[in-house]
Amino acid sequence: MDTNLLLLFIPTFFAVSITPGLCMTLALTLGMTIGVRRSLWMMLGELAGVALVATSSLVGISALLLAYPSLFLALKYLGGAYLIYLAIQLWLSRGKMAMNNDLKKMDIAPSALISQGFVTAIVNPKGWAFFIALLPPFINESQAFIPQATILISIILCFEFICMLLYASGGKVLRNLLQEQGNVKIMNRIAATMMFTVALWLILS
């Protein structure tokens, strides 16, 4: 891969990853409610979704979504509705993702967190927009496609993982602060408000 393109690609996509958005807000919320360690399952699903979106943008599947926008809209609305459902559960301090006074009893199936991360990634309009617009120009047509795509997607996934860890850690700090003051209900409602805001943004964008 062209070294100059790679040197330009790295800061460009780090800036894209670190910008607050759907996936980063979800990482922050889960870091606050279930902790960084358990949030890793969500991150696994999110990374799989990002890899799918990035690959699709490079091989042309994105053109299919542009030709049939109703399919993408359906996924977007379903994802938004699911996040709203989770936000309501958090606001009421119900459900497996809500914090309670006995954190050791909190148990969320890894499969549920993986699914949530995956769905959030593939219905994220920001992700599709950036990948469709920015990824193809970094491919050198005179060189083999697969090695270039592998390098670019690997860098993207590394950035996504690092940034999600940063956001989830910030949620953990807020979680510890509120936990010391015994404000578990407030913590749940802050997380619910954040998740609802993200869901609303997703549906209306």
The pLDDT of residue 168 is 92
Sign of CA dihedral 98, 194, 120, 139: negative
Terminal C-alpha separation, the chain: 35
Give residue-wise pLDDT tens across range 100-147: 555 444 567 889 899 989 988 887 777 777 787 778 778 777 788 888
What pLDDT is stored for residue 104 in this prediction? 46
Distance CA 132, CA 90 (A): 34
Give the HSE-up count for residue 49: Cα atoms under 13 Å, Cβ half-sphere: 26
